[in-house]
Copies of this chain bind each other. A is one copy, B any other.
Amino acid sequence: MAKRPADPANGGANAVRQVPMRDFSRSLPMSLLRAREAVMRRFRPSLREHGLTEQQWRILRALAAIEAAEVTELARTAFLLGPSLSRILRDLEARNLIERKTAKADLRRSMVSISEKGVKLMASVAPSSEAIYSEITRRYGARKLAELQDMLAELERSLAELGASDEAIAEE
């Protein structure tokens, strides 16, 4: 497991690196980052033409699928942090692409839904977005793409269980 020899944590006066780390470009975070960037580079121009950022698009897409959602639920679906979502919703609301209203039962919660204008915008973006995705699938191979997705999903699962190593978990 540990192929790295025992090393003094304090380090000596010697500045020479005796423990070369993995090749930088082969690190998993870098690989994932580059792959994702390679993919997103295809989508951004199209989104930009329609005045949407990647995150705004994610939100609209999530909303179109679920009719209405609370902010926290939407954050989980669109994989955005609360503060980011809060800002983006403010802007999308100002552009009349979404609608918001507080829940009657719990005044803390607000239900977010896509507006008619938002639906139309989505409809105008979706074709080109789908075309790009199809091209990517064609280039890479549909079977391989599905396999990649599975491996990524399992990576997520593997690391999700890992949480107990460092910090106490208070959930079941």
Which residues on A are within 8 Å of B, measured CB to CB? 1-2, 4-9, 11, 14-15, 17-22, 24-43, 45, 54, 58, 61-62, 64-68, 77, 79, 99, 101, 103-105, 111, 113-116, 119-120, 122-124, 126-127, 129-130, 133-136, 138-140, 144-145, 147-149, 151-156, 158-162, 165-167
Whether A156 pairs with B124 at a CB distance below 8 angstroms is no
Shortest beta-carbon contacts, A-B, top 7: A32-B36, A35-B152, A38-B159, A139-B158, A11-B123, A15-B67, A2-B113
13 A-B contact pairs sorted by A residue (CB < 8 Å): A2-B68, A2-B113, A8-B105, A17-B119, A19-B122, A21-B65, A24-B61, A29-B43, A32-B35, A32-B152, A36-B36, A38-B159, A136-B158
Whether B148 pairs with A135 at a CB distance below 8 angstroms is no
Q: Which B residues are CB-close (under 8 A) to A68? A: 2, 4, 6
Whether A126 pairs with B21 at a CB distance below 8 angstroms is yes
Copies per complex? 2
Whether B159 pairs with A136 at a CB distance below 8 angstroms is yes
Whether A34 pairs with B115 at a CB distance below 8 angstroms is no
Q: Which B residues are CB-close (under 8 A) to A35? A: 32, 152-153, 155-156
Main secondary structure of the interface of A (DSSP, over half): helix
Q: Do A29 and B40 contact each other (CB < 8 Å), given the known contacts A1-B114, A15-B67?
A: yes
